[in-house]
Each structure stands twice: as structure tokens, then as C-alpha cells.
């Protein structure tokens, strides 16, 4: 059942298996399903928690009337298009990783639907792209802007390199 008003949603998108092709597939599918998207710059970073190829990451903003469970089902169907299967190691290479970061200003800790995602404040490859595109957005738990969080973040912990990847 759709919500009555559109909700602004932010997704973290990353890949380290054929990343250019898989990120392009993801953005194409998101545009087809949701229309206009707000895209952050793309960043390259080392994997966290395992050894493997570098990831390319970005954040995508969109508006939707879909409830979180339906949005999550859409995300899983896009994962499947890229050949991603669930059940593997948590920290491993993957063709596509799409995470629901923020769903409006909602705060939820239900299994399968945790927003805001803790990764927003934990990893530079999530926080910096968010701060790039919506610096004045207030984190629904901390009450501080994403620009403030990025200014306070130890970006040396997870260095990023900007990548020119037209999407």
C-alpha cells in the first residue's frame, strides 16, 4: 500500500565486481522505476573487512510513494539483475550492493528495516557522498547536518578517490 505523500529516500550503491557495468545497470533500473534521481559523485575505496578489488560507491536520492518493504523488494530485484545472491559472507566482493540509508526522517530498528542505517555515520564512502548532495539534511537521530558530520569525520580512516564515471 503506497504512502500518501512522496518520501525522500537515499540509497547507498556500491560494486567491486565489474563496477562500471553494475553501477550503470543499477542507475538505469532506478531511473526506470523511480524517475528523476539525485546522484552523488562516485568514489573509489578499498574494501572494508576483507581483501579484494576496490569498490566504486555513490549515493542515490529519489522520491517514492512506496512503503519500505516494497522498496526493499525492488532493491532485491535489482540485486538479482546484477547476479547478486544472498547468503554469502557478509564482507565479500559483490557485483552490486544497494542499501537503504535514509527513508525520510523515519527512525526504525525493525529487522529488515533499520533507518537511518548506521553506515551513514560509520563509513566515508556513505557519509561523504550524502554530504555532497544534501549537506544541509539533518540526520534524524543526531539532529546535526550531514555537512557537520562530514566535517567531524576522520576521513583518513577510509580514504576515497573521486572517479569520473558518467551514470
Question: Domain for residue 2, yes or no?
Answer: no
Tell me: the pLDDT tens digits for 7-56? 999 999 999 999 999 999 999 999 999 999 999 999 999 998 888 999 99
Please say if 31 is a catalytic residue.
no
pLDDT higher than threshold 90 for residue 88: no
Q: Is 139 in a helix, a strand, or coil?
A: coil
86 a catalytic residue: no
pTM, two decimal places: 0.93
Please check whether residue 136 lies inside any domain of the structure: yes
Residue 108 lies in a domain: yes
Would you say residue 79 lies in a domain? yes
pLDDT at 87: 60
The candidate with the shortest Cα–Cα distance to 138, out of 1, 8, 13, is 8
Mean pLDDT (the chain, rounded): 92
Which pLDDT score is estimated for 141?
96
- Does residue 31 fall inside a structural domain? yes
Taking 70 as the threshold, does the pLDDT of residue 89 lie above it?
A: no
CA 11/CA 57 separation, integer angstroms = 11
| Catalytic annotation, pick one of 54, 74, 99, 119 | 99
Residue among 97, 117, 128, 132 flagged as catalytic: 97
Is position 112 within any domain?
A: yes
CA distance 5 to 81: 29
Our count of domains for the chain comes to 1
Q: Does the active-site annotation cover 94?
A: yes
Predicted local distance difference test score (pLDDT) of residue 2:
47
**In a domain? residue 1:** no
For residues 90-116, average pLDDT: 87
pLDDT of the residue at 48: 86
Task: Tell me, yes or no, if 154 is annotated catalytic.
Answer: no
| Boundaries of domain holding 102 | 7-163
Q: Give Cα separations from 63 to 30, 42, 86, 104, 141 (angstroms).
A: 11, 20, 26, 9, 21
For the segment 71-80, what is each residue's pLDDT rounded down to a tens digit?
999 999 999 9
Amino acid at each position: 500500500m503506497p504512502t500518501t505523500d512522496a518520501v525522500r529516500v537515499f540509497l547507498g550503491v556500491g560494486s567491486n565486481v565489474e563496477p562500471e557495468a553494475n553501477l550503470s545497470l543499477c542507475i538505469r533500473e532506478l531511473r526506470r522505476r523511480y524517475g528523476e534521481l539525485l546522484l552523488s559523485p562516485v568514489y573509489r575505496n578499498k574494501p572494508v573487512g576483507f581483501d579484494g578489488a576496490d569498490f566504486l560507491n555513490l549515493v542515490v536520492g529519489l522520491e517514492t510513494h512506496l512503503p519500505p518493504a516494497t522498496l526493499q523488494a525492488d532493491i532485491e530485484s535489482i540485486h538479482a539483475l546484477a547476479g547478486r545472491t544472498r547468503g554469502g559472507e557478509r564482507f565479500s566482493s559483490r557485483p552490486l550492493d544497494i542499501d537503504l540509508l535514509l527513508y525520510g526522517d523515519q527512525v526504525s530498528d525493525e529487522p529488515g528495516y533499520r533507518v537511518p542505517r548506521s553506515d551513514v555515520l560509520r563509513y566515508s564512502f556513505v557519509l561523504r557522498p550524502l554530504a555532497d548532495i544534501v549537506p544541509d539534511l539533518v540526520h534524524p537521530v543526531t539532529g546535526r547536518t550531514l555537512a557537520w558530520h562530514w566535517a567531524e569525520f576522520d576521513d583518513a580512516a577510509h580514504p576515497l578517490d573521486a572517479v569520473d564515471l558518467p551514470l
